[in-house]
Structure 1
């Protein structure tokens, strides 16, 4: 979850309910985990302004989940939208959910505080999601699936469409943010999903960053208060999917 002074942006809303999938545990889910996690993070569905997917694989697309909140606008990069129509992405229908979908270019910005940056390889249109001011924080999507890929950036997973491009993009990304104050939020690392990138020999590693919400704060206070903006601007507001 990314909170700016003007918008609340939900990045990669995970599997979601009511979506037909090939995996039995993912198909047509009806549990309340999604809503409970929002509440635990001091948010409500009414707080969401934008829903962004880093790429259109089935465990990242907000398809189906978008109907949960009344105001959220779904953002998709135009190249990824076209690729999402192929069988490669499984059952990821490319509909715009009743006019609330917006197809954007890969350098799209949301206000003055958030922007997209192309990180191709895992998919042709894969994006990372950045805080604009000094790159305070970045959500890397599936640029990396395991900490081993930080230690050895040349390692690519079978799911990468272009494994060589994925490796090059990953090393460039890690070099860019190594030994900086930028907080990297990964999608699949356990437990180090929020960390800073440090050099380790010829590779890299994550050093975990502790994240916390104000104790006893309501969703409206977390989203709207000066305290929440300060946390967001520091890149220290987030929660695991």
Structure 2
């Protein structure tokens, strides 16, 4: 699968793809319930890079951020061998980790930094070894936003008392399973470092609050030598949301907040040199946001 890489000053960002998806437009309409096929097709700049006939370009990947002093994995994908309700995520068996280790060995990772704690962002936090789920990266700290973790821990302990996500987006069953096999083992191993939005995690890597998709969702800002890039997380599931920031995802915990956060994010970074890396954008994954009338468009840049 395609690997892209970008430089931000002396910091490098490398994409390791887990799943590449050309999703039928009908599938995207299920993710974005306010969208219509006609409105998607009117977004001319999507073609042909991100919209090809009847399909839209997406992906699940990890972004490996190497500063002069640290090696961080931003989002760890779906993971192998995990039982999930969503067919796309169920019991995967890919060569993701073999390809990951052509970039870094597992024991070379200093930090794991998820934008949020959904099924397709924390799966490789753990691997099944010696009869149990254990941390994949033995020398890493796992940097979890405290509000985000508390939300999913409470959900796992009493799922019926919390919002039930749709089976398409994020089922109640999967939410509990993800906590048990991908989050709780990290807590049990004592590897969590708590972080908050706005915090500098290490020099060159800081967090922006982009709540709405989940309560403690963050985007990751990378800055060095006057250059910058930002990793969106699920603030943006699809490039089309740049043209239509009001289109929130079915699985957003607060769709109105997600729409506000998305527009504020796009206003902040539009027409700036900051490179925007979409966590679910297919290749090319990075580009620049520019104003396009009352909305925005995405100008891709190949790594």
TM-score by length of 1: 0.79
- 1:20 and 2:83 matched: yes
**Correspondence for 2:255:** 163
**Correspondence for 1:64:** 126
- 1:78 and 2:146 matched: yes
**Correspondence for 1:228:** none
**Correspondence for 1:113:** 204
Q: Is the 8 A contact 2:116 2:217 kept in 1?
A: yes
Q: SS where residue 54 of structure 1 aligns?
A: coil
- 1:177 and 2:269 matched: yes
Question: How far did 1:110 drift?
Answer: 2.2
Cα RMSD for the two superposed structures: 2.0
In structure 2, C-alpha distance between the alignment counterparts of 1:31 and 1:155, rounded to whole Å: 32
**Correspondence for 2:41:** none
Q: Bigger radius of gyration, 1 or 2?
A: 2
- 1:49 and 2:135 matched: no
In structure 2, C-alpha distance between the alignment counterparts of 1:108 and 1:30, rounded to whole Å: 36
Question: How far did 1:198 drift?
Answer: 1.2
1:58-99: CA deviations, max 9, x gaps? 001144257332212111100000111214561221421511
Structure 2 alignment gaps of length 5 or more: 1-63, 128-133, 160-164
In structure 1, C-alpha distance between the alignment counterparts of 2:117 and 2:229, rounded to whole Å: 22
**Correspondence for 2:60:** none
Question: How far did 1:37 drift?
Answer: 4.0
Q: SS where residue 92 of structure 1 aligns?
A: helix
In structure 2, C-alpha distance between the alignment counterparts of 1:201 and 1:179, rounded to whole Å: 13
Question: How far did 1:18 drift?
Answer: 3.5
In structure 2, C-alpha distance between the alignment counterparts of 1:178 and 1:156, rounded to whole Å: 19
Q: SS where residue 89 of structure 2 aligns?
A: coil
Kindly indicate which of the two structures has a greater share of residues assigned to strand: 2
Segment drifting more, 179-188 vs 14-23: 14-23
Alignment of 1:1-241 (within 5 A): 1-39=64-102, 42-61=103-122, 62-65=124-127, 67-85=135-153, 86=155, 87=159, 88=165, 90=175, 91-93=177-179, 94-95=183-184, 96-133=187-224, 136-211=228-303
Segment drifting more, 90-99 vs 180-189: 90-99
**Correspondence for 1:232:** none
Q: SS where residue 46 of structure 1 aligns?
A: helix
In structure 1, C-alpha distance between the alignment counterparts of 2:104 and 2:284, rounded to whole Å: 22
Question: How far did 1:135 drift?
Answer: 6.3
Structure 1 alignment gaps of length 5 or more: 212-241
